[in-house]
Structure 1
Amino acid sequence: MRVLTTFTFLLMTVITNGQTVSKYIIVDQFGYRTNSEKIAVVRDPLTGFDASESFAPGFNYALVDATTDTQVFTGNVVPWNSGNEDDSSGDRAWWFDFSSYQTPGTYYVLDINQNLRSYEFSIADDVYEEVLKHAVRTFFYQRAGYEKNATYAGNDWADSASHLGNLQDTECRKWDSPNDASTEKDLSGGWYDAGDYNKYTHWTANYVFDLLKAYIENPNAWSDDYDLPYSNNGTPDIIDEIIWGMDHLLRLQETNGSMISIV
């Protein structure tokens, strides 16, 4: 009996280790809430950059507990859109719906017939909390003239405060009067644009508006513990970020009420 048990364990280990992660079995790697719709999408590329590839799913699929490698839910894939190509992705697709399974944990989706699997994901009611935290933290990384030390940014992304030197953000001059010291203004702060060092007033105002709206719509969703230098100060971190943006906008306002459009 002991020999049989050992052999069974080794067999299960080989089967588990033999599974290959497939890029054609798509899951929401943020995770799924317990009561939410839960669907894995299986794709077969027909048009586009990967049109030379193909994937034909097996008929039988399973939701597998990643901790125990136990199949906790099984079912069949169903053609999406009657098997027709999706115009936006260039793929033919199938759905594996496991919405009825609601037990929290870490899982992956398995193509039983082909021994192919998805990446791991979580089922839990708090799956979006970590996502929300890092969405807000992106504004910290985009702050202009603000140190990001390794404690908060990590060693790979740490840097010192930039653009605070001579004739930089604290001593900005009008673009068409670079030698006229009388035009100097402190326009420090704000956030860099997506891929450059420009700071656009219109975009900054949009960011502030959207952050304010997000807070007003659900103030209880925002906490003060996003691992930022200004966390745990008694103010939700999203409000700290809004204040940072507003302070920059106030520096951009001229005495006649107009706004400088770009730094």
Structure 2
Amino acid sequence: MLNFGLKQYVPMTIALLSLSTAAFSATAYINQVGYRSGDSKEFALVDGSGNVEIVNASGSTVLTVTPGESSTWAPSGQNVQLVDFSELKTPGTYSIKVGGQVVRSDLKVADKTYEDVLKASLKWYYYQRASMALDETYAGQWKRAAGHTNPTARLHSSTGASGTINSSKGWYDAGDYGRYIVNSGITTYTLLSLYEHFPDYFKTLKWNIPAEGNLPDLLAEIKWNLDWMLTMQASDGGVYHKLTTLGFPGDVMPAQDSDPLYVIGKGTAATFDFAAVMAVAARVYKPFDASYASKCLEAAKKAYAWGAQNPNKAFNNPSDVATGSYADGSLGDEKDFAGTELFVTTGDASYKTSGASHNLPGWADVSGLATYGKATHATEFGNVAQVAKDTLLSVADDFEARSTTGFGVVMGDNDFYWGSNSVAGNQGVWLLHAYYLTGDKKYYVAATKVLDYLLGKNPLDMSFLTGYGTKSPMMPHHRPSTADGVKDPVPGMIVGGPQPGGEDIGSQTWECKDYRTGKPATSYTDNRCSYATNEVAINWNAPFAYLAGAIEAINAGYAPSFATSGITSIKPAVARKAHAKQGPQLRFADQMLYVEKNGKRFNLNGHRIK
């Protein structure tokens, strides 16, 4: 008989049995798509007790980990422990045991973990194409007839003109069929920058879309939207704000939305956003089509000149228009964005701007995009680049610190507003820029945690990407997914995500019942009524695609041209060591209390049972 000194434990048996019951209610929140084998890896544990075992498919424990200290994550009100299992590098599917009980069995470790979700999130733009039928060859069960094929659109009186223009192509903006220059601006920029940062990776990556000429798939997809944007520039250089009907359509397919299209508004924000995007496009497309690149650059210059002469022309919806407004009263950030990109493209110092912003990029504030441009072009911007870099790193340091507690993500209470998942995505993109500029792996690790959050490591235990993960949205606010007769929603869409605003809650039949929980991170409903939490939008997909694409490209050996040397060699941060040897641990499993020592199990009398 072995003596473990168990007399001290036996009087506590009842208390320990009670404690073990808590282990049964433990919940592990994981990245449901998987973790890269070579990366730092962690999941979140709520209501756990004791060590955590990672078990392989044959039932053998391959890693035992002591969770980190519990900390409260205010957005969900939960006490969370982070479990670092970075030492597990062998690809496979594993189970997680807490207190000897399996709490989930879908923990995946793999190589090229995010390639499929990258392709899906980019292919979604194909599904959003206007003026084109989606053939079964490319769209599968989500094939559909072309919508909005008549290129003739009426000039609304808000444009200051009359008559019609021809405007086709482009991406439907969200769950409706409007097309908006402002939101296209940040979306198209983000995707262009993904290609510009990793051209060699994306030259060969394909995901079954109809591509134009010799263009890589990513540039072919982006060009479909650039072509539409070019149609929205007036002869004087100004850019029209949007192309929509006067109101939102019902839940119909694009081909059934037959109300007249109007070109609505013309303003400073749309014009400068357009100028910035076209300036980047001129650089990116030049190796493939010099004529098209020149066309984009001339359009950018013309737009910038109009914006400089009309710096305060803000857009607001006319009284007879009820589609998305994208109204913005602060217009200096758009000028900074446009000037930065035009200076990078042309070298013309008249476009050069100074200063830097701490603000996370979003459609209404693109000053952070200008900060990216300045910080990553040290030669061109000189001292201004250093200011931008310092600004960027100060924000990134705050982000990284926040990612080490709670659910291990950057998000805080104030980040849960409409489109919160794009906030998370843009935080990840910001962190990657800090990584490029310093080579400090802490920023890379924090950025990967954003993908963890979006793909399931969140208090809803949900992947926010349709079609991917153990649990993902089935009823997004997306007209084609509602009206197409297909059970599964169009795949590859990031839904807006939790936020407590409740703008879609009401008593009408088309409105939602109150789904708010009192906590921002859990105020969400997977329901078609919820345009405030469950709609999709092109600007929400773009940062997710950038994150997944950049992480895959980096691990394939690529890096942006401006990056510090050595960032393509990713090594995981030092993890807590697995327990190769440990003292006796009291466990409870299969309705039996036992002692575990060095991976062996003994009953309370000290006899070996396993």
With normalisation by structure 1, the TM-score equals: 0.74
Q: What residue in structure 1 maps to residue 257 of structure 2? A: none
Q: Identify the match of residue 43 of structure 2 among 13, 31, 40.
A: 40
Q: CA deviation at 1:243?
A: 1.1
Q: Identify the match of residue 212 of structure 1 among 189, 192, 197.
A: 192
Q: Percent identity?
A: 31
Q: CA RMSD in A?
A: 2.5
Aligned counterparts of 1:23 and 1:229: Cα–Cα separation in 2: 47
8 Å Cα contact 2:53/2:65 also seen in 1: yes
Aligned counterparts of 2:139 and 2:59: Cα–Cα separation in 1: 35
Aligned counterparts of 1:208 and 1:95: Cα–Cα separation in 2: 36
Q: What residue in structure 1 maps to residue 181 of structure 2? A: 201
- AA aligned opposite 1:140: Y
Correspondences of 1:43-62 after superposition (within 5 Å): 43=46, 56-62=47-53
8 Å Cα contact 1:23/1:118 also seen in 2: no
> Structure 2 vs 1, CA of residues 192 and 23 (structure 1 numbering), >3 Å: closer, same or farther?
farther
> Structure 2 vs 1, CA of residues 151 and 65 (structure 1 numbering), >3 Å: closer, same or farther?
farther
Q: CA deviation at 1:183?
A: 1.6
- AA aligned opposite 1:101: L
Q: What residue in structure 2 maps to residue 120 of structure 1? A: 107
Q: Which runs of 4+ in 1 moved over 6 A?
A: none
8 Å Cα contact 2:232/2:239 also seen in 1: yes
> Structure 2 vs 1, CA of residues 108 and 185 (structure 1 numbering), >3 Å: closer, same or farther?
farther
- AA aligned opposite 1:137: K
8 Å Cα contact 1:192/1:199 also seen in 2: yes
- AA aligned opposite 1:103: T
Aligned counterparts of 1:31 and 1:101: Cα–Cα separation in 2: 12
1:174 maps to 2:155? yes
Q: CA deviation at 1:240?
A: 0.6
Q: CA deviation at 1:184?
A: 1.9
Q: CA deviation at 1:250?
A: 1.0
1:71 maps to 2:61? yes
Correspondences of 1:217-236 after superposition (within 5 Å): 217-222=197-202, 223-230=204-211, 234-236=214-216
Find the residue that maps to 1:120 and give its secondary structure. Answer: strand
Q: CA deviation at 1:248?
A: 0.6
8 Å Cα contact 1:58/1:114 also seen in 2: no
Structure with the greater relative contact order (CA < 8 A, sep ≥ 6): 1 or 2? 2
With normalisation by structure 2, the TM-score equals: 0.33
Q: CA deviation at 1:32?
A: 1.6
8 Å Cα contact 1:60/1:113 also seen in 2: no
- AA aligned opposite 1:104: P
8 Å Cα contact 1:61/1:112 also seen in 2: yes
Gaps of 5+ in 2: 1-23, 244-610
8 Å Cα contact 2:51/2:64 also seen in 1: yes
Q: CA deviation at 1:246?
A: 1.2
Aligned counterparts of 2:26 and 2:195: Cα–Cα separation in 1: 36
1:137 maps to 2:123? yes
Q: CA deviation at 1:22?
A: 8.2
Q: What residue in structure 2 maps to residue 8 of structure 1? A: none
Aligned counterparts of 1:63 and 1:205: Cα–Cα separation in 2: 45
8 Å Cα contact 2:91/2:108 also seen in 1: no
Higher helix share: 2
Find the residue that maps to 2:115 and give its secondary structure. Answer: helix
Q: What residue in structure 2 maps to residue 160 of structure 1? A: 145
Q: CA deviation at 1:160?
A: 0.9
